[in-house]
Structure 1
């Protein structure tokens, strides 16, 4: 029997990426090395320190701040290792015998995306939080964490929603968003207000595309994050898509600037606009053919 994912022309183009992600990433890498050069200069010479401040306590303060910022890079490596150790000690690792259906989805998606070896999958207590994330420790230890609350609300009633979430998180791994080298070449520039969150939102759009390409019926995964656990099943998705299509305006865009994730209703609309979730009732052909920003 033919693999439906392999037969899908969209799936054959995996992994998918938002067209603005790579240009923004390149800009951020350039800024990152420029920032590093400035920090090193502060530590090695006084050329960039205003003449009026040289030899004063302010010079020492500037050097101390530069040194502290440089330590962000080694701190990232330590935090990654500590995070994985914590997950291993507090979460349930899934396998072919521990929630085998969920593990099978990760195994299949990893093979389709070309992620080798299959990342470890953990089920954790989110203390009421609906969340999932992908991460890496070292250079190759990729893993995905799914909170119990998200898992419980999707697994029994809508496995497709769970599969979309898993596909999204594996997208982060396949697109190297969690790789050590990726985080190091952005470790300083990602702290820049507006620019850092902008790249983060583009990464989310990219991974949404991969999740939807792997599971085209998984929109409940995003609906759940929008409406909450008690009402997600009764939301009229066509109206939610239309809400996302009309979402805009000066204050909407301004309020999104510091956010790491795009507006959830906009994420749902974008995936319908691309045809990855299929057209909703309120989405006409003209709107679906418009380029996605």
Structure 2
């Protein structure tokens, strides 16, 4: 009998006894050991493997480029001496080759940097920044969570409209990170349900990406080329999502199931979903194509994600 989804549902208030930031701003920051215990067990090994692939791709590309420029050189035991002689020789041919390579090496980072800042400018120009005067309740939450997570600075949060999309994300500009909240998700806290707890969980999840260094320039560059390997990159992404869900649970003190249900059925209906019945029918969410969908997804499919949230500890299922 398949019992993968037979765990008993945990009520949404099951985490209410946890010490959370908004129940006492004086609580100390999470320790490194605590954060390590929240992180998915497969996240670091997968990340290290992708860094290795990334370095291997770069080294291979450099070596291939060298031999493409200087194809007459033999791949023998004297290859190192041959490369040095040709790379640092004084011939005019080499000077021209160096100029081309140097131009590419200088321009590529500048182009990437310009693209990142242009992306950031889009949100600065077309969004409302959450401050002590604009949505002060949310700003206070962000400030408290920043202290509990041990962040050096409070991340900027922008509120914008995306034609009914329910979403939020954290991203970066070189050494700074910021969070974007979409208004339809934000309305969960202010309009129909006045559900500030769900909004807190979403914010805590995105801030966890910052604390766990997922939303940093160095992290993304370290796996830049490995990210093009579909199943490997999506598996690491799912592990990151599980990690941030777990940090958010301990930060906010709620299971986080309701905000996930809001992503499934929308901001008007999620409060009407029977969680026990949903989990019961998760057992039917199986089969090869469901497995394949999960493998290719950057986020865990919802049955697996909610099951991990209800479990309340440990690492969520990446595959089966």
TM-score (norm. length: structure 1): 0.79
1:5 aligns with 2:20: yes
How far did residue 89 of structure 1 move?
A: 0.5
1:198 aligns with 2:235: yes
Among residues 36, 39, 45, which one is paired with 1:17 in the alignment?
Answer: 39
Structure with more contact order per residue of length (Cα contacts < 8 Å, sep ≥ 6): 2
Counterpart for residue 54 of structure 1: none
Structure 1 vs Structure 2 CA RMSD: 3.0
Counterpart for residue 176 of structure 1: 213
CA–CA separation in structure 2 for the residues paired with 1:72 and 1:240? 49
| Cα distance, 1:161–1:211 mapped onto 2, change above 3 Å | same
1:128 aligns with 2:164: yes
| Cα distance, 1:14–1:129 mapped onto 2, change above 3 Å | same
1:93 aligns with 2:129: yes
How far did residue 85 of structure 1 move?
A: 1.2
How far did residue 125 of structure 1 move?
A: 0.9
Which ranges of structure 2 fall in alignment gaps of 5 or more residues? 1-17, 72-103
Q: Deviations over 1:168-196 (max 9, x none)?
A: 00000001011111011111101112111
CA–CA separation in structure 1 for the residues paired with 2:20 and 2:238? 26
Among residues 248, 251, 270, which one is paired with 1:232 in the alignment?
Answer: 270
How far did residue 219 of structure 1 move?
A: 2.5
Q: Deviations over 1:110-169 (max 9, x none)?
A: 111111201011111122111100011121x21111000110134342111100000000
Counterpart for residue 150 of structure 2: 114
| Cα distance, 1:73–1:274 mapped onto 2, change above 3 Å | farther
Counterpart for residue 188 of structure 1: 225
Counterpart for residue 144 of structure 1: 179
How far did residue 291 of structure 1 move?
A: 6.6
Q: Deviations over 1:30-76 (max 9, x none)?
A: 000111112222322149x9xxxxxxxxxxxxxxxxxx9xx986654
How many residue pairs match? The answer is: 258
How far did residue 251 of structure 1 move?
A: 2.2
How far did residue 263 of structure 1 move?
A: 0.6
Instruction: Verify the 8 A CA contact 1:155 1:162 in the aligned structure 2.
Output: no
How far did residue 214 of structure 1 move?
A: 1.6
Flag the structure with larger Rg.
2
SS in 2 for 1:45: helix
Instruction: Verify the 8 A CA contact 1:245 1:269 in the aligned structure 2.
Output: no
Which ranges of structure 1 fall in alignment gaps of 5 or more residues? 50-67, 276-289
SS in 2 for 1:4: coil
